[in-house]
């Protein structure tokens, strides 16, 4: 229920602030003491239509007419001098209460929208869960992260500096190469910008601040980053699964094992794929990690891959299997 326009909270009770009444009283005093209200006697020209009444004489304009105009000015000045300062005093509190009310409404609406759009993958209580794999031929589910600690998860990220904006952009555009679809109307979704803002408000309202060590970004090795971001497609040991094996990815990009120039060229090729992703026909798309991992984290992953490279290694595809359909060995 809307609060009265002129009201403040004091001592736990709503106390009407009689700003308007005080200003009107001041206006009335000025009107009847020095203004037109002090005039006595019958009204002139009461039965004559307004357009046919004679206008004031010069003498009257310079005396009573001028006094009457000045009296109105005094009355209005009293009204403004009382109303405007008092209204200015309570306006910040009124705005703050309105903002709080709108926020509570957004959180309530966002809770309902979250249950409809997000809970099936990220959990009813934002505890995390799973989603169908983007490759229809893979039965293993894709892990969906918990969202009740997303602020803590990105608090030290050099990429995500505004978590609220990051959540909204993810909802609007989705995540290429993952089951996270675009929910924004402009990108083929069914949710308006206002609904996505409400979902974001709800997610941020229930943050626990608890961050499992495995999800932290700071101090993680290249192997840790690989296991949390790459292993679900390329295998725990880079042996390949949904994506190709990476045990000789440097060799496939021209590394001979001795030439430093070919090594840097291979690292640059792997780096480009990590930053930009890949989307080849017949394969599950690989998402770009430029908005997920810092430059240092990406370099750590490349260092880890370099450490496990095998010259004259297995075929392009999975270990013991055929090359990934739709791709050819370089």
Helices (H), 1-149: 19-33, 58-60, 66-117, 119-122
- Per-domain boundaries in the chain: 7-103, 129-213, 221-307
What is the CATH superfamily name and number for domain 221-307? Cytochrome c-like domain (1.10.760.10)
Burial of 22 (0-12, 13-18, 19+ CB in 10 A): middle
The answer to whether the pTM exceeds 0.75 is no
pLDDT of residue 10: 42
Kindly report, residue by residue over 56-86, the tens digit of the pLDDT.
778 877 888 788 788 888 878 887 888 888 8
pLDDT of residue 33: 67
- From 116-130, 158-172, 174-188, 284-298, the region with the lowest mean pLDDT: 284-298
If one compares 213 and 69, the residue with the highest pLDDT of the two is 69
Q: What is the dihedral of CA 26, 32, 34, 39, to 10 degrees?
A: 170
pLDDT of residue 114: 96
pLDDT at position 1 over 60: no
Kindly report, residue by residue over 285-322, the tens digit of the pLDDT.
788 887 778 888 899 999 999 999 888 766 555 443 44
Kindly report, residue by residue over 214-243, the tens digit of the pLDDT.
444 455 688 888 888 888 788 888 888 778
- Calculate mean pLDDT across residues 13-18: 45
pLDDT of residue 172: 93
pLDDT of residue 4: 45
Contacts of 125 (CB under 8 A, 6+ apart): 148
- Calculate mean pLDDT across residues 201-226: 75
Closest alpha carbon to 250 in 210, 292, 303? 303
CA distance 298 to 275: 8
Contacts of 34 (CB under 8 A, 6+ apart): 71, 74, 75
- Band the pLDDT of 282: cuts 50, 70, 90: low
- The whole-angstrom distance between residue 196's C-alpha and the CA centroid of its chain comes to 8
- Band the pLDDT of 19: cuts 50, 70, 90: low
Contacts of 130 (CB under 8 A, 6+ apart): 121, 141, 142, 143, 144
- Band the pLDDT of 9: cuts 50, 70, 90: very low
Closest alpha carbon to 175 in 287, 291, 293? 287
Burial of 299 (0-12, 13-18, 19+ CB in 10 A): middle
pLDDT of residue 36: 56
């Amino acid at each position: 229920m809307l609060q009265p326009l002129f009201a403040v909270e004091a001592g736990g009770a709503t106390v009407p602030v009689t700003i308007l009444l005080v200003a009107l009283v001041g206006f009335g005093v000025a009107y009847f003491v020095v203004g037109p209200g002090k005039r006595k006697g019958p009204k002139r020209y009461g039965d004559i239509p307004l357009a046919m009444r004679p206008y004031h004489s010069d003498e009257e304009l310079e005396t009573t007419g001028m006094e009457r105009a000045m009296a109105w000015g005094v009355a209005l000045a009293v009204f403004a001098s009382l109303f405007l300062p008092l209204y200015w005093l309570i306006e910040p509190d009124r705005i703050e209460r309105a903002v709080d009310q709108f926020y509570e409404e957004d959180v309530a609406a966002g809770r309902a929208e979250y249950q409809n759009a997000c809970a099936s993958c990220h959990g009813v209580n934002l505890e995390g869960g799973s989603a169908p794999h983007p490759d229809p031929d893979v039965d293993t589910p894709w892990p969906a992260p918990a969202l009740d600690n997303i602020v803590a998860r990105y608090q030290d990220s050099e990429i995500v500096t505004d978590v609220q904006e990051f959540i909204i952009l993810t909802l609007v555009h989705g995540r290429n190469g993952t089951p996270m679809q675009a929910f924004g109307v402009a990108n083929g979704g069914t949710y308006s910008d206002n609904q996505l803002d409400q979902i974001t408000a709800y997610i941020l309202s229930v943050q626990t601040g608890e961050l499992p060590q495995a999800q932290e970004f700071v101090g993680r090795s290249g192997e840790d980053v690989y296991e949390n971001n790459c292993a679900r497609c390329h295998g725990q040991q880079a042996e390949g699964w949904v994506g190709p094996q990476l045990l000789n990815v440097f060799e496939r990009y021209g590394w001979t094992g001795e030439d430093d120039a070919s090594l840097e060229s291979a690292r640059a090729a792997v780096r480009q794929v990590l930053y930009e992703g890949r989307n080849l026909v017949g394969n599950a798309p690989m998402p770009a990690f430029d908005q997920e991992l810092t430059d240092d984290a990406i370099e750590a992953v490349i260092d880890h891959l370099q450490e496990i490279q095998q010259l004259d290694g297995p075929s392009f595809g999975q270990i013991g299997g055929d090359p990934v359909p739709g791709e050819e060995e370089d």
